[in-house]
Structure 1
């Protein structure tokens, strides 16, 4: 199931360009989010590891982007991880993918969430995240490029949006993305309301599994997801190089 979730999650968050180099999947989206701008290796690293790394580096640097590799724990990536470390790549953002088996039941949420259009949702999200104009433009392009069924939701307090999130449904798998709460409104149950609303939507649409990605250092978020029934499935982390190529 790990690989299925991983492949579906990449489809749920599309890049603008993808190159498959002997099973090494390079994704490009003008630098917005590491998830859409990194190399993922699903299978064994295989032969010619140095050549493959060098080729990937050339593709990112040709686009004036830092080469980034996303390593998945279930692929036993030690050889690749060690080689990247030897080249001076820094490890950042160790993260978890957490999963939840869904059932046909009401989640009994006491809150009411609002469905939003893409435009209205983006205004709220970008305000809560304080994104710059360039980031906002690329973010819009990524969301507009999602082919799966998608739901944009928000939670309002005194007619003001204080939390929002996205549900992406693909082949019975519901991914939850871009979950954010106003810094002044945290610990009031709004994120829980957003997730429960998205889960209920997913269940109503026939979803049987939900997944969510979270940085391991974000302890409050990890605890919230665990409280809602999510369990850790596998880990991933990034190795980030530099644009210039002067790492070694």
Structure 2
């Protein structure tokens, strides 16, 4: 398997949009504006034709949803990147895609972290609050989180009855993908992120995963350091091109 299309397909499947459209090797995703990953175009396969007519169509499709066209690009889509640059598309959020082997004793579950297979109401409320989601995005997030067909684990750390850190994992093929590892501002720098990640990776290993997979904004130095300490190494980067205006 080519590493970029394989890992990109896992990441797309682990972060499902509300609606998806396939266009000649491109995957158009729509989720009412909640996250760029779920509201962008992914050209999954190297060598797929990048032409102006397809970009024109994409722009019309996203305009119909009241959104700009956004493309999620990697080094496997250099021709499309150049075409979009020529149309004035700007680069947004370069992101590091990282994997780690789960065959290490350093990955252990923490008893302070609780896991559930589905997001209960208390977890969802905490998730919305910690990520500071708008009402509209909160509703979309709830729909997305409730739509998984594959195994999932939702992790939480609480102080009394208040959720102070959370995140979740999705099991697909040989990989456990991690998303939205977040800690309340007043509870940061206390090791909660490491506890969440270790527990979710340990859960994935129990499910049969051989590797962990995550995506982190490249200039997020604290998160990059945390993941590097747990053995996550960069495989490639992606970036977004956003339609001007």
TM-score (norm: length of structure 1) = 0.91
Corresponding residue for 1:31? 33
Q: Is the 8 A contact 2:165 2:193 kept in 1?
A: yes
Q: Distance in 1 between matches of 2:226 and 2:146?
A: 29
Alignment of 1:85-234 (within 5 A): 85-103=85-103, 105=105, 107-108=107-108, 111-116=111-116, 117-118=118-119, 119-234=121-236
Aligned CA distance change for structure 1 residues 61 and 109 (closer, same or farther; 3 Å):
same
Gaps of 5+ in 2: none
Aligned match of 1:65 = 67
Q: Aligned partners of 1:167, 1:156: CA distance in 2, in Å?
A: 18
C-alpha displacement at 1:6, in angstroms?
1.2
Cα distance in 2 for partners of 1:137, 1:56 equals 25
Relative to structure 1, the CA distance from residue 58 to residue 100 in structure 2 (aligned partners, 3 Å threshold; closer, same or farther) is same
Distance in 1 (alpha carbons) for counterparts of 2:189 and 2:100: 22
Shift of 1:107: 2.8
CA deviation profile, 1:158-206 (whole Å, cap 9, x unmatched) = 4432110001011221000011011111111000000001011111111
Deviation at 1:48, TM superposition (A): 5.7
Write the distance in 2 (CA, Å) between the matches of 1:2 and 1:103.
22
What's 2:56 paired with? 54
The worse-fitting range, judged by mean Cα deviation, of 39-48 and 224-233 is 39-48
In structure 2, distance between residues paired with 1:91 and 1:218: 17
Contact 2:165–2:192 (Cα < 8 Å) also in 1: yes
Structure 1 211/46 Cα, relative in aligned 2: closer, same or farther at 3 Å?
A: closer
Q: Aligned residue for 1:237?
A: 239
Q: Give the TM-score normalised by the residue count of structure 2.
A: 0.92
* 1:75-86 pair list within 5 angstroms: 75=76, 77-86=77-86
**TM-superposed deviation, 1:110:** 5.4
SS in 2 for 1:36: coil
Question: Residues 155 and 163 of structure 1 are in contact (CA less than 8 Å); yes or no, is this contact kept in structure 2?
Answer: yes
> Number of residues paired by the alignment?
241
1:90–1:240: 8 Å Cα contact kept in structure 2? yes
Task: Judge conservation of contact 1:106–1:200 (CA < 8 Å) in 2.
Answer: no
Q: Distance in 2 between matches of 1:85 and 1:69?
A: 11
CA contact (8 A) 1:104 1:203 kept: no
Q: Distance in 2 between matches of 1:49 and 1:192?
A: 44
Could you tell me which runs of 5 or more consecutive residues in structure 1 were left unpaired when the two chains were aligned: none
- How far did residue 104 of structure 1 move? 6.9
